[in-house]
Every structure is written in C-alpha cells, then in structure tokens.
C-alpha cells in the first residue's frame, strides 16, 4: 500500500509539472510576437476554447481504489486462513498408541462391557427379588388368613361337619394286638380263593359310562337286624393299568392316605397286608353327631393276566356319638374285592385307560343286633349305610386324587 501511495504521489507531481510547463510554452510565442513588432498595435488574442483535461488520473485513481479494495479482501482472506490454521492447531491430534496401550485399551473396553452386563443382571435380579418378595408377602398373608379361617371352622359346628369327612383322629388307641380277629379274617380269605374266576369274569364286563355306583339293601326273612348291604362301584380312569394297580397297592400298604395315627399296618407277606384303622364320619349337621367305626381288615393281592385282583375281608365296630341319644353299637363283617384291568379305547388296541371295579358286601352280626337301642330301629339303614357309602366314596376319590397328583409330578 505504501508503494501504491508513493506511485500515486509521483504521478500527481508529474501532472502538475506538465501543466505548468505547457502554460509557459504557450506564452512564449506571444512574447516573441510582441518583441518583433513592438510598434504594431496590440491585437487582443481571441480566447481559445479550453481543452478537455485528460482523465488518465481519474482512471488511475479508480484502479488504485480497486486495488485497495482487492488488497483489503486479500488481507481479510489471509486473516481467515490464519484463524483456521490456528483452530486446526488447537484441535487434539490422535496419538499413536503402542501395542501395550492397544492391549490395555481392549482390556478396558471388555471391562466396561462386563460392568454394563453386571449392572443389567443386577437390575434383573433386583426386579425378581422384588417380585418374589411381593409373592412371599402375599403367601404369608394368605397363610395367616387360612389359619384364622381354619380356627374359626374348628370352633364352629358347621366347620366341624365340613372339615371332617373320613378318618379323623380319635384319642382311643386301636386294638391291633387282637390276633384272633386277623386269624379269623385270614381263614375266611383262604376259603374265597375259588371266587377268583367269577370275580375276573365279572370285572371284564365293559363299563357303560364313566362312573357307576350302586347300593342294594337285602333283608333276609324281612328282619331288619339281618339286613345286608351290597355296594358296587365302577369307573374308567385315564391312566394305564400298571400305574393304577401299583398306586392302589401302595395306598393299601401305607394304610390309606391318612397319617399313622389313623392306621396301623403290618405287611405279612409281599401280597398280604393287615391293618387296623379308625374313621369318624359326620352324621347330623344340626346336632354335630358323629359315627365312629373301628376296622380290622386283611387284604390279599392276586396278579392275573387280566389285571390285578384284591380280595378284602374286614371286621368293623360301629358306634355313634349323639348328644341326646343313648349309646349304640353295631358290629359288621365286610367281604369284597377290587379289580383293575385295562380298557382299550381305540380300535388299534392301544391301552389308553383302565377300569376300576369295587364290590363290598356288609353283613351285620346277629349276636350284636339285639344290643341296638329301641329308639334307633333300622339303624343299619339310618346310620351304617350312609356312613359306609361315605367311606367307600372317600376311598375312591382319594385314589383318583393320588393318581392326578402323581401324573402332575411326573410331567413336572
């Protein structure tokens, strides 16, 4: 810029000098003319039209202005480039890592991933813990409520009737040491071996419908005391023959599904079981009366091609607990059998279910019939039959429940 100003100054000086010099040159002829003819009258020269001044300096000024603007633009561009260069220098440059640094960088990345995974797992476990805590609190609350309800039921008469179905524990000790009863039952069992063929033929008859239950009362010579009760039950079970037979025999060996305080069982051989048991059955809701029965039984198993046959001989002593009625007792003898055989449901003969048949005949002893009080005429029909039917129905329901529970546990 200084150089441009210097050039402009030089040019302006040159222009002034030329203008001054030109005026002097133009004035010299006039002076010469005056000297040559001094005596001649002076003639006033005509005014010449002024020549147009040259515009070169204006053009140069414009060029200088353009150069000055261009120079300022270049300076601005240079400043912008310097700023950009400074900004690039201020930015951190990626450092070149060594092999060890790369390794530790990878280790740190893996550690961060594991930490994140652990945090996610902790969050999931925390949610599960909260869920299980809520479930535990709910179960505890339900347990407390169930205990309260159970206590209320036990304290009420209706609760006693609903809660007690079959096999309530009584304080009286069962007489399991009476060998005469078991010897007599075993003798009667041996005399029934000829019935096996008849039992198997009857058991192989197809069952019509899912469940059938029949109870008949037979009175000999029209005498109520000598009445006999025959109970028949038949049903189809959605389980195989072997599973059902083994389950029923296991229940018999355990003395039923009640605790050891209800039953005393002795296993005389692989296929013979003797047991003493007590059952208590609600009889009347209004008066909370109950019927107790002490049963001594011998059960023998026979395995046949058609299935499993179980012969039953039992001796029962019945007694009633009534708040207003006098004491009453009745002794009965029971004879029966249980058969489990296969039942193919499809034409291909594949076994899909089995048949369970039960027949029990209850006969009251004539020697104890006279002990029945006069207020309870027809006690066999009013007390023994409903209680006996209740016991048998409970046994069959327990078998079905046990099979269902076993199948669920196997699937689980």
The answer to whether residues 323 and 253 belong to one domain is: yes
Least confident of 20-24, 100-104, 235-239, 243-247: 20-24
Task: Answer yes or no: are the C-beta atoms of 218 and 209 closer than 8 Å.
Answer: no
Indicate whether 162 pLDDT > 50: no
The answer to whether residues 145 and 172 belong to one domain is: no
DSSP assignments along 137-192, one per residue: HHHHHHHHHHHHHHHHHHHSHHHHHHH--S----SSPP----HHHHHHHHHHHHTT
DSSP assignments along 51-77, one per residue: PPPP-HHHHHHHHHHHHHHHHHHHHHH
User: What is the per-residue pLDDT for 46?
Assistant: 57
Neighbours of 361 (CB within 10 A): 16
User: What is the per-residue pLDDT for 13?
Assistant: 53
Q: How many distinct structural domains can be found in the chain?
A: 3
The answer to whether residues 130 and 250 belong to one domain is: no
Structure-model confidence comparison of residues 56 and 14, the more confident one: 56
User: What is the per-residue pLDDT for 153?
Assistant: 60
The answer to whether residues 4 and 140 belong to one domain is: no
Question: Does residue 95 sit within a domain?
Answer: no
User: What is the per-residue pLDDT for 97?
Assistant: 74
The answer to whether residues 127 and 196 belong to one domain is: no
- What is the pLDDT confidence band of residue 127, given thresholds at 50, 70 and 90? very high
The answer to whether residues 304 and 328 belong to one domain is: yes
Which of 129, 155, 181 is the last residue before a domain boundary?
Answer: 155
Structure tokens at 96: 């070149």
The answer to whether residues 375 and 287 belong to one domain is: yes
The answer to whether residues 144 and 246 belong to one domain is: no
Task: Answer yes or no: are the C-beta atoms of 308 and 245 closer than 8 Å.
Answer: yes
Least confident of 24-33, 57-66, 126-135, 342-351: 24-33
Task: Answer yes or no: are the C-beta atoms of 293 and 329 closer than 8 Å.
Answer: no
Question: Does residue 131 sit within a domain?
Answer: yes
121: domain range? 115-155
Q: Quick: pLDDT tens for 21-30.
A: 444 444 445 5
Question: Does residue 49 sit within a domain?
Answer: no
The answer to whether residues 211 and 125 belong to one domain is: no
* Rounded Cα–Cα distance for residues 103 and 105 (Å): 5
Strands 329-344 and 228-237: unpaired
The answer to whether residues 336 and 258 belong to one domain is: yes
Q: Quick: pLDDT tens for 191-235.
A: 988 888 888 888 888 877 778 888 887 766 655 555 678 899 998
The answer to whether residues 151 and 189 belong to one domain is: no
Q: Quick: pLDDT tens for 274-330.
A: 888 888 888 776 667 788 888 899 999 998 888 899 999 999 998 888 777 777 788
Q: Quick: pLDDT tens for 246-269.
A: 989 988 887 765 443 456 677 678
- What is the pLDDT confidence band of residue 371, given thresholds at 50, 70 and 90? low
The answer to whether residues 126 and 261 belong to one domain is: no
């Amino acid at each position: 810029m200084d150089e441009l100003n210097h050039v402009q100054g030089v040019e302006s000086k040159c222009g002034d000098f030329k203008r001054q010099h030109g005026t002097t040159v133009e004035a010299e002829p006039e002076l010469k003319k005056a000297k040559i003819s001094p005596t001649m009258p002076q003639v006033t020269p005509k005014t010449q039209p002024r020549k147009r001044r040259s515009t070169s300096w204006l053009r140069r000024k414009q060029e200088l202005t353009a150069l000055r603007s261009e120079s300022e633009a270049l300076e601005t561009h240079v400043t912008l480039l310097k700023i950009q260069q400074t900004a690039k220098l201020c930015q951190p440059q990626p450092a070149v890592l060594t092999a060890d640094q790369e390794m530790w960088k990878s280790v740190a990345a893996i550690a961060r991933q594991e930490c994140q995974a652990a945090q996610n797992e902790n969050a999931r476990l925390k949610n599960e813990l909260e869920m299980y805590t809520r479930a535990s609190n709910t179960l505890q609350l339900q347990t407390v409520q169930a205990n309260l309800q159970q206590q209320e039921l036990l304290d009420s008469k209706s609760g006693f009737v609903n809660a007690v179905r079959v096999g309530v524990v009584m304080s009286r000790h069962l007489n399991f040491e009476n060998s005469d009863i078991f010897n007599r039952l075993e003798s009667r069992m041996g005399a029934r071996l000829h019935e096996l063929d008849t039992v198997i033929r009857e058991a192989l008859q197809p069952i019509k419908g899912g469940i059938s239950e029949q109870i008949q009362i037979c009175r000999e010579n029209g005498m109520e005391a000598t009445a006999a009760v025959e109970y028949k039950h038949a049903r189809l079970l959605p389980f195989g023959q072997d599973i059902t037979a083994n389950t029923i025999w296991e229940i018999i060996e355990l003395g039923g599904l009640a605790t050891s305080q209800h039953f005393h069982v002795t296993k005389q051989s692989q296929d013979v079981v003797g047991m003493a048991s007590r059952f208590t059955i609600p009889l009347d809701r209004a008066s909370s009366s109950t019927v107790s029965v002490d049963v001594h039984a011998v059960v023998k198993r026979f395995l046949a091609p058609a299935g499993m046959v179980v012969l039953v001989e039992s001796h029962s002593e019945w007694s009633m607990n009534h708040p207003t009625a006098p004491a009453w007792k009745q002794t009965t003898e029971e004879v029966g059998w249980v058969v489990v055989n296969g039942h193919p449901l499809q034409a291909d003969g594949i076994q899909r279910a089995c048949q369970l048949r039960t027949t029990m005949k209850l006969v009251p002893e004539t020697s104890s019939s006279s002990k029945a009080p006069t207020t309870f005429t027809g006690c066999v029909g009013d007390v023994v039959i409903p209680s006996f039917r209740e016991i048998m129905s409970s046994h069959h329901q327990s078998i079905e429940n046990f099979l269902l529970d076993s199948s669920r546990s196997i699937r689980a």
